Amino acid sequence: MDKPRNTFEGPRRRSLSDPLTAALRPPPNETPEQREERIRTEAEAKKISDGIDEMIKQEKAELRKTRADVSVLLLGQSESGKSTTLKQFQLLHSPSTFHAERIAWRAVIYLNLVKSVTRILNALSPDGDAEEQDDVASISHSTEANHTTVTNYESYRQRLQPLFNLEARLSFLLSSPDEDEPTQLGPQNGAWPHQTNVLGPSNSQNGNGHSRKKEVTVHTSKNWKKAFALGSKTKNPKSPHTGEIQGWWEDPDDPVHDLNACAPAMLELWRDPDVKKRLEEKKIRLQESAGFYLDEISRITAKKYIPTDPDVLKARLKTIGVMEYPFLISSGTNKGVKWKIYDVGGSRNQRHAWAPYFEDVDAIIFLAPISAFDQVLEEDRRVNRLEDSLLLWKGVVSNKLLANVSIVLFLNKCDLLRTKLEAGVRLAAHMISYGDRPNDYESVSKYMRNKFGVIHQQFTPSKERELYPHYTSVTDTRRTATIIADVRDIIIKQHLKSFKLV
């Protein structure tokens, strides 16, 4: 037994008079039988001690496993679907919170709907300007000389005038005083300010606002949900049965009244064939844009409308800053694992906030909206969205700080890609390298996957790093739930591996 002996050597060597050393020393007159017995007992004791050591090690491993905090960063350009993915995580892991907050989303859904309507009106306006062109990167300009005239335009404008005020009101309510763009949701005192008291800071109160310039955003403060969920000025805002907010329809200042009154005109406008034609001429594809609710006007403008899960998932609220969401996995093999998911703002002026999170992150879910090959960035209309995604992807996968971070790629908005290709929009017209390959969903999606895969292979600082790509439509709850479960298990496995625990 050399080891214990060695530990007694050197400056810290125990003296021979040390009682422990003396006790451990074999007796001076030991017989061969006694020696054999002693060695056997010592071996047994060591076996037991080693067993205990092993048990302690395993317990520690288990403990670390249950305590492992997994940090995941959602990255991607603006409107790529990061916040929607986060909502799906919430729906899976804390459904009660998700449902408790759905009333609060009413404000965003209303604003999304109102913005679509004011955007149409601005586009139809005879003096409508070029700003009202869609995000679509135009490859051929429509002949404006011969454009469709919407004969009922003035009547629509008049009947829908209250929506311009409502847009200003909602934007104002969702704004933070120190920021250019709206940054939070909901009246702070739990009630809607009186209509005439609050007119937005803004641009659209005169009915000529350029609504698409400013998007509604969510800030790192989470108070909006609480504030908005307080509901109305009614005496009993909570249902005694479900505990859910109710009774807002009794508040005369609630936006639902304006919306409800304008619903018939909205429906007529959206169904008007001349309007459809004019929007086509102007290449405005509202169905594809974020927060699209025009196909469900009657349901959404109903006085007692409560947002459904898909409504909340479709609601568009731009993220500003970085928001942290903790989750605890409560069942299955990874029970007890804590997650921290960071949702970031993806527009160009928000990306500087990402880097500080790179040092401690365990995994990245990168979202690339592959349907956006014919669109341009909202913040810089000279830049094609797909090109921006590819560049951003290259930046992320080549980043040395992220060399050991698991990377999951969501090739997102596959539903929109399919619809777009089926409508005849050609990838090759926007991406010369696609050449004369078939313009169907299977070929295009595979091509995209390959394109992103090659960049990863070429630029990753760690050749061992595996890439986990998925085709996703993150507004689809059923499919996304399966993908999230897979991704979650892979991320945790990689995370534990890095701790050398599995």
Per CB under 5 A, residues contacting Mg ion are: 82-83, 319
234 and 251 Cβ atoms separated by less than 8 Å: yes
Contact flag: residue 469 with ligand GTP (CB under 6 A): no
Instruction: Choose which of 475, 484, 491, 495 interacts with ligand GTP (CB under 6 A).
Output: 475
H/E run at residue 480 = helix 477-498
| Nearer of residues 80 and 494 to Mg ion, judged by Cβ | 80
Write out the DSSP string of 75-129. E-STTSSHHHHHHHHHHHH-HHHHHHTTTTTHHHHHHHHHHHHHHHHHHHSTT--
Structure tokens at 270: 């959206």
Least separation in angstroms between residue 270's CB and ligand GTP is 18
Cα 159 from Cα 385, distance rounded (Å): 36
Contact flag: residue 460 with ligand GTP (CB under 6 A): no
Contact flag: residue 83 with ligand GTP (CB under 6 A): yes
CA-closest candidate to residue 237, choices 299, 296, 187: 187
Least separation in angstroms between residue 68's CB and Mg ion is 26
Contact flag: residue 82 with ligand GTP (CB under 6 A): yes
Contact flag: residue 473 with ligand GTP (CB under 6 A): yes
Chain residue whose CB lies nearest ligand GTP: 346
Residue 438, amino acid: P
CA-closest candidate to residue 359, choices 402, 327, 323: 402
Please count the residues of this chain forming the interface with ligand GTP, following the rule CB under 6 A: 25
Least separation in angstroms between residue 448's CB and ligand GTP is 14
Instruction: Choose which of 169, 316, 451, 488 interacts with ligand GTP (CB under 6 A).
Output: 316
Contact flag: residue 88 with ligand GTP (CB under 6 A): no
Contact flag: residue 133 with ligand GTP (CB under 6 A): no
78 and 346 Cβ atoms separated by less than 8 Å: yes
133 and 282 Cβ atoms separated by less than 8 Å: yes
Contact flag: residue 319 with ligand GTP (CB under 6 A): yes
Residue span 328-367 as binding mask against ligand GTP, x where in contact by CB under 6 A, dash where not? -----------------xxx--------------------
202 and 181 Cβ atoms separated by less than 8 Å: no
Contact flag: residue 184 with ligand GTP (CB under 6 A): no
Least separation in angstroms between residue 109's CB and ligand GTP is 10
| Nearer of residues 65 and 470 to ligand GTP, judged by Cβ | 470
Residue 491 site contact among ligand GTP, Mg ion, none (CB < 5 to 8 Å, cut-off depends on kind):
none
Q: What is the dihedral of CA 177, 180, 184, 186, to 10 degrees?
A: 70
Least separation in angstroms between residue 421's CB and ligand GTP is 14
| Nearer of residues 78 and 184 to ligand GTP, judged by Cβ | 78
Residue 107, amino acid: A
Angle formed by the axes of helices 106-124 and 273-281, nearest 10°: 80
Contact flag: residue 415 with ligand GTP (CB under 6 A): yes
**Which residues have C-beta within 8 Å of that of residue 396, sequence separation ≥ 6?**
75, 364, 366, 402, 407
| Binding footprint of ligand GTP on the chain (CB under 6 A) | 76, 78-84, 290-291, 313-314, 316, 318-319, 345-347, 412-413, 415-416, 473-475
